[in-house]
Structure 1
Amino acid sequence: MGNEQPEIQLQGLHYLTGDPIRITIHQGRIDSIAPLNNLEVEQQQLPWVGPGFVDLQINGYAGLDFNSLPITPHTTSRMTRALWKEGVTRFFPTVITNSEEAIKEAVAAIAQECEEDPVAGDAVAGIHLEGPFISPEDGARGAHSRLYVRPPDWTLFQRWQESARGRIKIVTVSPEWAEAEDFIRRCTDAGVLVSIGHTAAAPDQIARAVAAGASMSTHFGNGAHPVLPRHPNYLWEQLAAEQLWTSVIADGFHLPDAVLKVVMKVKGEKALLVSDAVMFSGMQAGTYESHIGGKVVLTPEGRLHLAEQPQLLAGSVQMLLKGVSHLVRRGLCSLGEAWEMASIRPARRLSLPVSSGLQPGAPADVLLLDWRDGEVAEPRIAGVYKNGVSVFP
Structure 2
Amino acid sequence: MSVIEGRSPQTGEVLRVETDGDRIVGVRRAETRDASLPWLIPGLIDLQVNGYAGFDVNGADVCAESVIGITHALAAAGVTTWVPTIITASEEAIVASLRAVCAARDADARVAAAVPFAHVEGPFLSDQDGPRGAHDLAQIRPVDADEVARWAAHGPLGYVTVSPHWPGAPEQIARIVASGVRVAVGHAHATPEQIRAAVDAGASLSTHLGNGIFATLPRHPNPIWTQLADDRLTAGFIGDGHHLPADTLTAMVRAKGPGRSFLVSDSVALAGTAPGRYHQPVGGDVELFPDGKLTLASTPFLAGSGVNLAQVVEFTLTRTPLGLPTVVELASGTPARVIGNRSIGRVQAGARADLVLLDADGRVVDVLAQGARP
TM range (shorter): over 0.9
Q: 2:147 aligns with which of 152, 156, 168?
A: 156
Indicate whether 1:381 and 2:373 are aligned: no
TM-score with structure 1 setting the length = 0.91
Paired residue for 1:351? Answer: 340
Q: 1:303 aligns with which of 293, 296, 312?
A: 293
Q: 1:70: how far off?
A: 2.3
Q: 1:72: how far off?
A: 4.5
Tell me, in whole angstroms, the C-alpha distance in 1 between the residues paired with 2:261 and 2:68.
29
Tell me, in whole angstroms, the C-alpha distance in 1 between the residues paired with 2:82 and 2:290.
26
AA aligned to 1:321 is: A
Paired residue for 2:160? Answer: 171
- After TM superposition, list the pairs within 5 Å mapping 1:244-259 onto structure 2: 244-259=233-248
Indicate whether 1:221 and 2:204 are aligned: no
Indicate whether 1:270 and 2:264 are aligned: no
Q: 2:120 aligns with which of 129, 143, 158?
A: 129
Indicate whether 1:24 and 2:18 are aligned: yes
Tell me, in whole angstroms, the C-alpha distance in 2 between the residues paired with 1:247 and 1:330.
18
Aligned length: 373
Tell me, in whole angstroms, the C-alpha distance in 2 between the residues paired with 1:341 and 1:328.
11
Tell me, in whole angstroms, the C-alpha distance in 2 between the residues paired with 1:122 and 1:363.
10
AA aligned to 2:123 is: P
Indicate whether 1:141 and 2:121 are aligned: no
Q: 1:245: how far off?
A: 0.7
Task: Point out where structure 2 has 5 or more consecutive residues left out of the alignment.
Answer: none
Q: 1:317: how far off?
A: 1.0
Asked whether the 8 Å contact 2:54–2:269 carries over to 1, the reply is yes
Paired residue for 2:177? Answer: 188
Q: 1:123: how far off?
A: 0.8
Q: 2:8 aligns with which of 2, 14, 35?
A: 14
Q: 1:258: how far off?
A: 2.4
Indicate whether 1:67 and 2:50 are aligned: no
Q: 1:73: how far off?
A: 5.1
Tell me, in whole angstroms, the C-alpha distance in 1 between the residues paired with 2:260 and 2:272.
28
Asked whether the 8 Å contact 1:344–1:354 carries over to 2, the reply is no
Tell me, in whole angstroms, the C-alpha distance in 1 between the residues paired with 2:139 and 2:334.
32
Residues 191-243 of structure 1 show CA distances to partners (whole Å, capped at 9, x for unaligned) of 21211000000111101111111111100111111111222111111111111
Q: CA RMSD in A?
A: 1.5
AA aligned to 2:132 is: R
Q: 1:355: how far off?
A: 4.6
Paired residue for 1:323? Answer: 312
Identity %: 39
Q: 1:354: how far off?
A: 3.1
Q: 1:332: how far off?
A: 2.4
Q: 1:350: how far off?
A: 2.0
Residues 250-281 of structure 1 show CA distances to partners (whole Å, capped at 9, x for unaligned) of 11111122221221111112111000000010
Tell me, in whole angstroms, the C-alpha distance in 1 between the residues paired with 2:159 and 2:321.
28
AA aligned to 2:130 is: G
Task: Point out where structure 1 has 5 or more consecutive residues left out of the alignment.
Answer: 1-6
Tell me, in whole angstroms, the C-alpha distance in 1 between the residues paired with 2:63 and 2:100.
9
AA aligned to 1:391 is: R
Tell me, in whole angstroms, the C-alpha distance in 1 between the residues paired with 2:309 and 2:43.
11
Q: 1:110: how far off?
A: 1.4
Tell me, in whole angstroms, the C-alpha distance in 1 between the residues paired with 2:354 and 2:345.
11
Tell me, in whole angstroms, the C-alpha distance in 1 between the residues paired with 2:22 and 2:72.
18
Asked whether the 8 Å contact 2:271–2:305 carries over to 1, the reply is yes
Q: Secondary structure at the match of 1:93?
A: strand
Q: Secondary structure at the match of 1:43?
A: coil
Residues 167-196 of structure 1 show CA distances to partners (whole Å, capped at 9, x for unaligned) of 110110111112321222122222212110
Indicate whether 1:391 and 2:352 are aligned: no
Q: Secondary structure at the match of 2:302?
A: coil
